[in-house]
Amino acid sequence: MSSSQQLLSAINELSTNPEQVAAVRETGHCVVLAGPGSGKTKTLTTAMARALSDDIIEPRGVACITYNNECAIELETRLARLGIESGDRAFIGTVHGFALSQVIAPYARCVPIGLPAEFQVATRAQTRAAVEAAYATAIGGSDDPHRRWNFASEKRRRDVDRSRPDWLGRNPELAVFIEAYENELRRQGLIDFDDMPLLAYRMIKEHDWIRDALHARFPVLFVDEYQDLGHALHELVLLLCFGGGIRLFAVGDSDQSIYGFTGANPELLDSLTQRCDVRTIRLRFNYRSGGKIVRASLGALGEERDYREAEGAPEGELTFWPVTLGLDVQAQAIADTVIPDLEKRGFALDEIAVLYRAAYLGDKIAEALKRAGTPFVRSDGNALVRRSSRLSRFIEDCARWVVGGWKSADPRYSRLLQQALKIVYGAQVRPDEEQLLSDQLIGFLQATINSSDTTHTWLQLFDSELIAHWRTIARNAEQEWEVCAEMIRNTDPVADLDIPLAHLAGRLEGTGRVNLSTLHSAKGREFDAVVMYGVNASDFPSQRDRQSTVALREARRLFYVGVTRPRRELAMVYQEHHHSPWVKELFDRSQK
């Protein structure tokens, strides 16, 4: 099927939803407010494909900025089904990736921003050392410089435009600390991740020709998960789209804004909807969850929304599991009772997720599942694989190829090569570079086909034969090369952590595994059944949540994110007579 036929088919699939069709066909500034399960990714990717087909003449293209690499990978996969490959006429990546590859790398040599031609991204050790040096220079004293830097980082992310009075007028001592820190990095030819969008903003603001160059290449800017992306992205949008001629298509949901600790602010998305030059479209239908879960979710949110289940959707089910004692007993009850009950009623293990607030709770669940003999995979801070890392996803895909995927082209080798090129080079790649990388990759993969190596041994080979060389030639400064070393440590056979390679690849027969995830890591995902663990009065909301209205509201949105992940069943596990007050609201709404 040709790409035009694929696009027409995709648009036809949306024909029963007038809001989705309107969004896809919009040719002005547009904000799509997309609730849980409302088909926002399908709407976004179809809109991108239609714009490339109908509105934009080659070689111009579109840029799409999203929250993290995991979101970018999902968008790339969806667009590939519509015949669009990332890097062809479409940039897809994080705001840091956009700033680095589309602004700083091509134009930093042309403008005075204090960076050498061969600048590098600072390591964690280098940033910590710079904080300590800057603290000694700018503030002094015996306080912990890193504790003070937490406040400085918040100001740095929020006060993007330093020409405004707030920069020196609000917490001036932090402004001095920040500038000393940045000067220390520049002295060493370094930038950090927060530098990327900040430097890009200043370059575009101070040099109209850079903005014009971006407009010439990307007449349309798509933004996914707008509510999560913070002040730097918002200021870039205002500069590029409402001062630089680029058309904006933004998708988001303020009700799912749960990253306040990284600078996210749902009010930034709301401010776009109040502009007279922006069309706002709300997607009302939830295609994920049954009606009872949709109604209950509004109880979890504590506010009214015009959301409804799709026609013909099953009703869905809520179950409540009071447990006599605390978190350890609740974890064992999930392993011994809740999950077996779901299995008995036909739920596959790999379509069951246990969600919780912090990784230490994942440790408790993991131990309980081990005792019960139930296989699981984790997506939290203690997981084998970082879900948000392109490199870790690529390593998993390579493992899947060598343990049998090469036979069925799952994944295709061409897809693996494109992943490798993006990881190593980022954007522009010369033909000779592509050929060299391909020779190295296929040589390694063929040499390890049907290998009897465990994951630990195979990862060591991957690191020595591919990563060690790639990191010396890489032009993609955003890449986290330490991910492979982390995976090697996380499979240490001495600590009894090693697993079969087919386990990493997900290709062992009967290896359906329960998903363990923090609520933050579960955002954007869906499962047939979700078990929310530790929904106790002291945990939802916690004492820390109660310290401010802003924190309490974000905790409630986090609860809402968990409640809206299941398709068919939501199970709440909590201490008897000590449940979260939000559980009762959820129960009451589900009965209406």
Annotated binding site for ATP: 34-41
Q: What's the CA gap between 421 and 202, in Å, rounded?
A: 29
Three-state DSSP class for residue 40: helix
Sole residue written with tokens 């026609």? 311
> Could you tell me which residues are annotated as the binding site?
34-41
Q: Where are the beta strands (DSSP E) in 491-555?
A: 514-518, 527-533
Q: Where are the beta strands (DSSP E) in 109-212?
A: 120-121, 190-191
| H helical segments located in 345-430 | 359-372, 390-400, 406-408, 413-425
Helix, strand, coil tally for the chain in percent (to 5): 55, 15, 30
Residues in the chain: 592
Q: What's the CA gap between 469 and 410, in Å, rounded?
A: 26
| Host H or E run for residue 240 | helix 230-241
- Is residue 95 within 8 Å of 68, Cβ to Cβ? no
Beta-carbon contacts of residue 128 (< 8 Å; ≥ 6 apart): 146
Instruction: State the virtual CA torsion across 516, 520, 525, 530 in degrees, nearest 10.
Output: 50
Q: What's the CA gap between 341 and 324, in Å, rounded?
A: 19
| H helical segments located in 188-229 | 195-206, 208-217
ω before 411 within 30° of 0 (cis)? yes
Compute the radius of gyration of the chain from its Cα atoms. Answer: 24
Three-state DSSP class for residue 390: helix
Q: What's the CA gap between 352 and 332, in Å, rounded?
A: 16
Cα 389 to chain center, whole Å? 9
